[in-house]
């Protein structure tokens, strides 16, 4: 069953999404890729096989593995619906904003240049006034 799930996940584009895909109680993993969750599932299944602990712990772990398998299967089957929602949104106004920022940068540079020129003119005028005094 896990091998089938691994094949399903391998066939899908496993792009990351903006937030974790599953509840924190179901998976400890905070990854945004299905492969991350599959790895945790495989780890839990291996623990279940190798576990020599009490029956209640084994039963709890078995139920968790089953829940994880079901969640991953649901995610694989609904992946096509999620693709459009998870795609980063492109802001249509961003190029215009960048253009305006360029204008702003150039205007600020021109303003600074003019202020420096004005400062030099005032200094020259002040020198002339001092030289003209008797």
Say how many CA atoms lie within 13 Å of 48 toward its Cβ: 16
pLDDT, one tens digit per residue, over 45-100 is 888 888 777 888 889 889 999 999 898 888 877 766 655 555 556 788 889 999 99
Listed residue (8, 134, 11) closest to 71, CA to CA: 8
- Which residue from 17, 12, 39, 15 is spatially nearest to 28, judged by alpha carbons? 39
Q: How many helices (H) and strands (E) does the chain have?
A: 5, 0
The Cα–Cα gap between 77 and 39 comes to 19
Q: Report the predicted TM-score, pTM, of the whole model to 2 decimal places.
A: 0.56
Could you read off the pLDDT of 93-120 as tens digits, one per residue? 889 999 999 999 999 999 999 999 999 9
């Amino acid at each position: 069953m896990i091998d089938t799930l691994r094949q399903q996940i391998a066939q899908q584009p496993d792009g990351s999404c903006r937030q974790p895909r599953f509840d924190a109680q179901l998976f400890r993993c905070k990854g945004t890729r299905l492969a991350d969750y599959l790895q945790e599932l495989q780890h839990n299944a291996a623990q279940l096989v190798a576990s020599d602990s009490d029956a209640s712990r084994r039963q709890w772990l078995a139920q968790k593995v089953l829940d994880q398998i079901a969640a991953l299967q649901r995610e694989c089957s609904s992946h096509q619906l999620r693709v459009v929602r998870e795609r980063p949104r492109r802001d249509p106004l961003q190029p215009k904003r960048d253009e305006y920022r360029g204008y702003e940068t150039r205007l600020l540079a021109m303003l600074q240049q003019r202020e420096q020129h004005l400062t030099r003119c005032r200094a020259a005028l002040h020198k002339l006034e001092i030289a003209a005094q008797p």
